[in-house]
Amino acid sequence: MQGFADFADGILGGALLAALAVALGGVVFAWLVLAPGSDAAARALRARCAGLVALSAAALALCQLAALDLKVRLLAGYLGPDALTRFLATPAARAGIARAALSAALAVAALALRRDPDAPVRRAVVWLLAALVAVSGAWLVHAAGRLEHRDMLMVVTVLHQVAASVWAGGLVHLGAAWRLGRRDPAVGALWPHTVARFSRVALASVAALCVLALPLASAYVGSIAGLVGTGYGALVLTKIALLAAALVLAAGNFGAVRRYRHSGSAAGVRERVPIRVEGETILTMVLLFTAASLSSQPPARDITHERASIGEVVEVFRPKIPALRTPSVRAVLDDDSDPYAVAGGERTAVAYSWSNFSHNVSGLALLAMSAVALVGIASGWRWTRHWPLGIAVLGVFVLLRSLAVDGIRPFGPNPFWATTLGSAEDMQHRLAGLLAIALGLLEWRARQSDGHDTRLPYVFPALALAGGLLLLVHSHAAFEAKSSYLVQVTHTAMGLLAVLVACTRLLELRLAPAAGRVAGAASCVAMLLVALVLVFYREANVVVPLP
């Protein structure tokens, strides 16, 4: 239960922030972006926007209730039968219930607005409820539990959340406007104007969220040592990297809008902007999942004893000779220590060697695949298209190693489901193995089809994205030991890189061939960096004697 709860909490937190963004972002999008006017096309856009707000507000209410339910179940494990009563007495529980109720009310009000998108009273009710939903979040963040600058941090976090929602949620609404415009030429005619208005709103919201991030980072991280040496800091760095990647796409869109404003030419806005908006949307949604993961970890400032030094983190990524010898399955099964135990004192040399070999060999295989894929882009040689088969073989390797280490049949006496559902680590490693097998086979098939199969090529970016997200929300103990952090930081880096592999591959598929090739090469380079993290992986920097 604990394992599943940790895993579900990460996913649920991200889904909750994504739903919040689409709901709040939609309200602002309708107000500041959608062209005013009483013609049918403008009304259709506003109605579509209200519909999406209703849907996301309903999803937010459900996610919030599920998150509360999960908390009560977890607390029941510690507090017994009166967990619910004691939980309901906390400000966080009351704020959670209030947010669920307000979101449900917002869903109903937005549905009413959808039927008549220009009714001023309905619009005002939607505005009021959206503002209350945003404010209720103040008691659900770290700030509410701080002793110093509590009120200021609550306000700043909510404003940062709202600015993030206006950008990330607005992108979802922009994408919806594009899709509606493809079916309805009158709506399509409004597209360049809509993009131009959104670009101003997006610019202002990104500037605001960056400015607001400064006091948050200063209050919760406080120093470079905290940024590099804790799980919280690593996630803040991940957010900065994702933000930079999203801004690269945003800059392209901004340039297209400027050309449209100055020359009236809408070619770029119509051809490339929708594709880049798709990539930007994915990156901002991943940012929201990362933010949720961040807010479930103790702030870096509170981790004083178990911080890793900058030198120790550099050591994690520094080039090292990979371990190419593994302990036998027998030796692992005879080893009493928990194979996924917090890296540190209770880990034996056998457990370390087993883990290092698994990671290093996977890295070497991925390195070879990335090199072949890069050669393929440079040369166009057909045989290089078979490289994805290597991912499937790697998936089998990961799955078998994860079954062996737990002594699951046929390697030992244990049944599959008992261990898989009992530990978040076990479940994530099994899912990663299965995901890799599916990913490899489908991508291999897609690359053989020479573009005739129009859907299959999208499975690879979708699954790579899912894998990246899984790594970014990878659950960890509340106050994790330094040795665990030294492992986590590699997984966080790989999660970030997997997301970049996915987004650049998507761009490769969607953009015109010349730009697509550049995106394809970027995708292979990101894959190569994942490979290098794995090749140089040495668990928690512990040097173990060769088996």
Contacts with ligand HEM, residue ranges (CB under 6 A): 17, 141-142, 157, 160-161, 164, 167-168, 209-210, 213, 216-217, 220, 236, 239-240, 243, 284, 287-288, 291-292, 294-295, 299
Q: Which is nearer to ligand HEM, 295 or 353 (CB)?
A: 295
| Residue 15 C-beta: closest distance to ligand HEM, Å | 12
C-alpha separations of 350 from 62, 157, 361, 414 in Å:
45, 45, 16, 20
CA distance 215 to 387: 46
Contacts of residue 177, Cβ cutoff 8 Å, sequence gap at least 6: 34, 45, 48, 49, 187, 190, 191, 194
Chain Cα centroid distance, residue 434: 20
Q: Which is nearer to ligand HEM, 297 or 483 (CB)?
A: 297
Q: Which is nearer to ligand HEM, 142 or 385 (CB)?
A: 142
| Residue 465 C-beta: closest distance to ligand HEM, Å | 16
Structure tokens at 110: 């937005």
Q: Which is nearer to ligand HEM, 237 or 349 (CB)?
A: 237
| Residue 205 C-beta: closest distance to ligand HEM, Å | 9
> Residue 428 in contact with residue 479, Cβ under 8 Å?
no
Q: How many CA atoms lie within 13 A of 434 on its CB side?
A: 9
Q: Which is nearer to ligand HEM, 58 or 212 (CB)?
A: 212
Q: Which is nearer to ligand HEM, 45 or 138 (CB)?
A: 138
C-alpha separations of 253 from 27, 38, 246, 536 in Å:
22, 28, 11, 37
> Residue 16 in contact with residue 67, Cβ under 8 Å?
yes
| Residue 41 C-beta: closest distance to ligand HEM, Å | 29
Contacts of residue 267, Cβ cutoff 8 Å, sequence gap at least 6: none
End-to-end CA distance of the chain: 35
| Residue 86 C-beta: closest distance to ligand HEM, Å | 23
C-alpha separations of 76 from 69, 148, 421, 547 in Å:
11, 30, 19, 44
| Residue 294 C-beta: closest distance to ligand HEM, Å | 5
Q: Which is nearer to ligand HEM, 250 or 427 (CB)?
A: 250
| Residue 390 C-beta: closest distance to ligand HEM, Å | 34
Q: Which amino acid is at 346?
A: E
